[in-house]
């Protein structure tokens, strides 16, 4: 009903305009009769023309918020086939729909980061090393040669692949710098006091949990080994006695940031000199009996400061799985990116909605 009412209102308005034109013609034009005859004869065409103008105005109002980026001459044909032109504007619109927003994001980040981190020998070597690791992996497991790898992953050349890896390299540099900038001297001192200790000379026996050894049986065997140590046997003696049932490792001196599971490191730190675990220590591998031999002095803060910063950075990264993307979103905001195309802007906002 509302639609019909609007159309009637528009028609009434048009009629009023036509009447005003007729009145003016009657007063001022001596050939008014002929002109009125023309108006009457072409009344429908005139109505359609005026309605078309109104419709165009309405469409303009509706779509005005959608700013569409165009080339300087968007109507220029890019290619013609069978008498039909494919214009630059048409091609641009199709490409917007065909390609994900990540393509645009890559160009944005490249524009920001290329000038911030100029390529040096270290970057070049690391990128080539990374590229080769990809090529070796796909060659070994999929029997792809270099050309097949590049083609299947959408790269036209090895240089294009290098450029993609350089962008990732620069993003990681920016991310690392950002994390380090968040760490204060108080953070470093606190970590040093609470977590840093001298390297500990360590060996252990591991009863693995596998197809031949259930978790319950592994724990019982580890407890049996500990009982032998309690009875006075040395660590070397039980190591030999159970050599066919357990895994022995001499870890040498283990640092405070060693790549070992937390239960293992916690037990190791709590043991006294030349002592062993009184209960089995469980990790994802099975059950351990740990022997702590001796320990070096705690290192000076200045000797481990860089390592502490790396550890604190790793902690921040682990606490938020989206932090990397959040940092990049913030980077783009600070660079002042501004979309001229509202469709692409909408896609970008959708892409980053979980990273704000």
Residue 157 lies in a domain: yes
For residue 235, tell me if it sits in a domain: yes
Contact 235, 275 (CB under 8 A): no
* CB proximity list for 36: less than 8 A, separation 6 or greater: 22, 25, 26
In a domain, 303, yes or no: no
Pairing of strands 247-254, 200-208: antiparallel
In a shared domain, residues 59 and 88: no
Are 267 and 205 in a shared domain? yes
Residues 204 and 177 in one domain: no
Domain identity same for 225 and 287: yes
Range of the domain at 165: 101-182+320-356
Instruction: Note whether residue 190 is domain-resident.
Output: no
Phi/psi at 294 (5° precision): -150, 180
Asked if 160 and 195 count as a contact pair (C-beta separation under 8 A), the reply is: no
Q: Please give the chain's pLDDT, 356 residues, in tens.
A: 333 333 333 334 334 433 443 444 344 444 444 444 544 444 444 444 443 443 444 334 333 445 555 556 667 777 777 778 878 787 777 777 777 899 899 999 999 999 999 999 999 999 999 999 999 999 999 999 999 999 999 999 999 999 999 999 999 999 999 999 999 999 999 999 999 999 999 999 999 999 999 999 999 999 999 999 999 999 999 999 999 999 999 999 999 999 999 999 999 999 999 999 999 999 999 999 999 999 999 999 999 999 999 999 999 999 999 999 999 999 999 999 999 888 889 999 999 999 98
Half-sphere exposure of 120 (CA within 13 A, CB side): 5
């Amino acid at each position: 009903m509302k639609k019909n009412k609007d159309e009637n209102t528009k028609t009434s308005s048009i009629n009023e305009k036509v009447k005003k034109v007729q009145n003016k013609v009657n007063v001022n034009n001596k050939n008014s009769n002929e002109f009125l005859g023309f108006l009457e004869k072409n009344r429908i065409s005139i109505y359609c023309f005026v309605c078309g103008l109104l419709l165009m105005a309405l469409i303009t109002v509706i779509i005005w918020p959608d700013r569409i980026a165009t080339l300087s001459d968007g109507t220029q044909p890019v290619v013609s086939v069978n008498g039909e032109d494919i214009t630059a504007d048409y091609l641009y619109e199709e490409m917007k729909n065909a390609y994900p927003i990540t393509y645009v994001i890559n160009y944005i980040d490249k524009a920001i980061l290329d000038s911030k981190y100029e390529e040096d020998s270290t970057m070049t070597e690391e990128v080539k090393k990374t590229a080769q690791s990809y090529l070796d992996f796909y060659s070994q497991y999929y029997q792809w040669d270099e050309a097949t790898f590049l083609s299947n992953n959408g790269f036209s050349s090895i240089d294009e692949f290098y450029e993609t890896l350089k962008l990732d390299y620069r993003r990681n540099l920016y991310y690392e710098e950002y994390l380090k900038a968040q760490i204060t001297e108080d953070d470093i001192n606190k970590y040093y006091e609470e977590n840093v200790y001298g390297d500990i000379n360590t060996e252990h026996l591991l009863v693995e949990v596998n197809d031949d050894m259930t978790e319950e049986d592994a724990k019982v065997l580890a407890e049996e080994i500990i009982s032998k140590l309690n009875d006075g046997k040395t660590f070397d003696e039980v190591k030999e006695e159970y050599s066919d049932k357990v895994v022995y490792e001499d870890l040498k001196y283990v640092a405070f940031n060693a790549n070992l599971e937390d239960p293992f490191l916690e037990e190791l730190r709590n043991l006294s000199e030349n002592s062993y675990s009184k209960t089995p220590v469980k990790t994802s591998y099975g059950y351990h009996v740990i022997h702590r031999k001796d320990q070096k002095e705690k290192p000076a803060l200045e000797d481990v400061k860089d390592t502490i910063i790396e550890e604190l950075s790793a902690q921040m990264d682990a606490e938020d799985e989206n932090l990397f993307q959040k940092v990049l979103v913030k980077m783009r905001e600070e660079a002042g990116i501004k979309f001229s195309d509202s469709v692409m802007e909408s896609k970008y906002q959708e892409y980053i909605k979980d990273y704000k």
